[in-house]
Amino acid sequence: MAFGRLERTDAARPMSDINMTPLIDVMLVLLVIFMITAPLMTASLRLDLPKSEAATPSDAPSSIAVAITPDGKLHLDDDVLAPEAFQQRINELGRANQQMEVQLRADRAVPYGQVAELIGWVQAAGLNRIAFVAQAAASAP
């Protein structure tokens, strides 16, 4: 008959620490997904903007995006508005903050008369800071 030790070893204790590595991996994957999709969500309006060598993005503290499509639809930020509703909204914005910058995007195919009329509405609302948005011209190699 074999005798063993009389000492008893403690049973395995449950682990009370959380393994953070999988959580960090998931968070990094989500961060990458949001970094890739965020710029795609802001450019949902398809316009054929004119190209200019002086086209640089503006980082105005308070600005609104105004766009006119080739079929004559007016966009104020993400909203499609009729001309009367557009004038009303732009007047409200002009009364609220006259230092606000208007970033105007007009498709290349939009007649100049419609763009001039749109600029007139914006200036009549008291907004005189108008930025014309264009695509940067492709540089020659």
Q: Kindly list the domain boundaries of the chain, sorted by start residue.
A: 51-136
**Mean pLDDT, to the nearest integer, of 122-135?**
86
Q: What is the pTM of this model?
A: 0.55
Q: How many residues in the chain? A: 141
CATH code of the region 51-136: 3.30.420.270
**Residue 108 Cα distances to 62, 67, 71, 135, angstroms:** 26, 12, 12, 11
Segment 24-41, tens digit of pLDDT: 999 999 999 999 888 776
